[in-house]
Structure 1
Amino acid sequence: MTHSPASEHQKNTTILVVEDNNVSSTMLRFALQKKQYNVHCVQDGEACLKALEAQPFDLVLMDIELPFMTGDEALKRIRDGQDRYCGIPVVAMTAHDSLEALERLSKIGFDAVLNKPLDLAALMHTIEKILCRSK
């Protein structure tokens, strides 16, 4: 069986999912693995930072409302962090769908902002767009 260039690219792409809701995390893992992405899931901002220090990732999908440390604070620490991961693309996932909330998340440095519940087609399009831009 021959793989398309996109699937070969995806097989070499590792995504860190930061989501404290087990159902959402499982759904994201399943959907991303179905598209041939490598996926690592953690449940809070502290675990996100530890994962970024432990191994390289190509993209972070981050919930905003997390225990112990919000997605906003985790993003700030990522951007202020080590050179190897401070520039990693980070996509916010939020249930706050007001225009002001979405603009605020974009302004503080998220590469994209997606509303929950997630539209999987929009999620995949956003991931591909960001990964193509960052390669």
Structure 2
Amino acid sequence: MRTIHVVLPFTLPAGGEFELDTATSLEGEVKKHLNILLAEDDPLDQLFMRSILEKLGHSVVLANNGEEALYFLKLHDFDCILMDIQMPVMTGDEATKIIRESTSLGDKRNIPIIAVTAHAQPGDRERFLAVGMNEYLGKPVSVNDLERVLSKAMRQIVKFT
């Protein structure tokens, strides 16, 4: 048996209590509760993303692949989609193309879609935007970056409504 020690370079606030502030964002603007569709196949990423999003005050519906994401989008109203790229059954690219080209989704085809992926090669971000995604988040996702893109998505929601 081996023991591994991990040292993380941060300190907790006085009293040892740590909470994400759900009343204001990093820029101090008032946050809105979002209904988010999370399309992610990896169980650990699902757990991490759902936990963070719920701590930020958002509701999350989980889809395990692009096909499930399309199914849930048809049934429910969401404010945005966090879309993994590499998933079984249907990739995030394929699902995004179907959403953007749909004639049956109405205004839902304009939903903000945020790519969440480990793809970080030159040109990847541009490729995802060309497919119809609105923003890109690289994995591992930081809370600061997640809040930033959700804030941007909220501005797009106002623009489309």
**TM-score normalized by the length of structure 2:** 0.76
Structure 2 counterparts to residues 23-42 of structure 1, below 5 A: 23-42=44-63
Q: Report the structure number with the largest CA radius of gyration.
A: 2
The answer to which structure has the higher helix fraction is 1
Q: Give aligned pairs, total.
A: 130
Q: Could you say what the CA RMSD is over the residues aligned between the two structures, in angstroms?
A: 1.4
Counterpart selection for 1:75 from 96, 105, 123: 96
Q: Where does structure 2 lack aligned partners over 5 or more consecutive residues?
A: 1-22
Give the drift of 1:134.
2.2
Q: Tell me the secondary structure at the aligned position of residue 41 of structure 2.
A: coil
Identity over aligned residues, as a percent? 32
Q: Tell me the secondary structure at the aligned position of residue 15 of structure 1.
A: strand
Structure 2 counterparts to residues 44-55 of structure 1, below 5 A: 44-55=65-76
Measure, in 2, the Cα distance between the counterparts of 1:24 and 1:79.
25
Q: Tell me the secondary structure at the aligned position of residue 127 of structure 1.
A: helix
Q: Where does structure 1 lack aligned partners over 5 or more consecutive residues?
A: none
Q: Tell me the secondary structure at the aligned position of residue 16 of structure 1.
A: strand
2:94 pairs with 1:86: no
Q: Tell me the secondary structure at the aligned position of residue 65 of structure 1.
A: coil
Give every structure 1 segment of 4 or more consecutive aligned residues whose post-TM-superposition deviation is greater than 6 Å. Answer: none
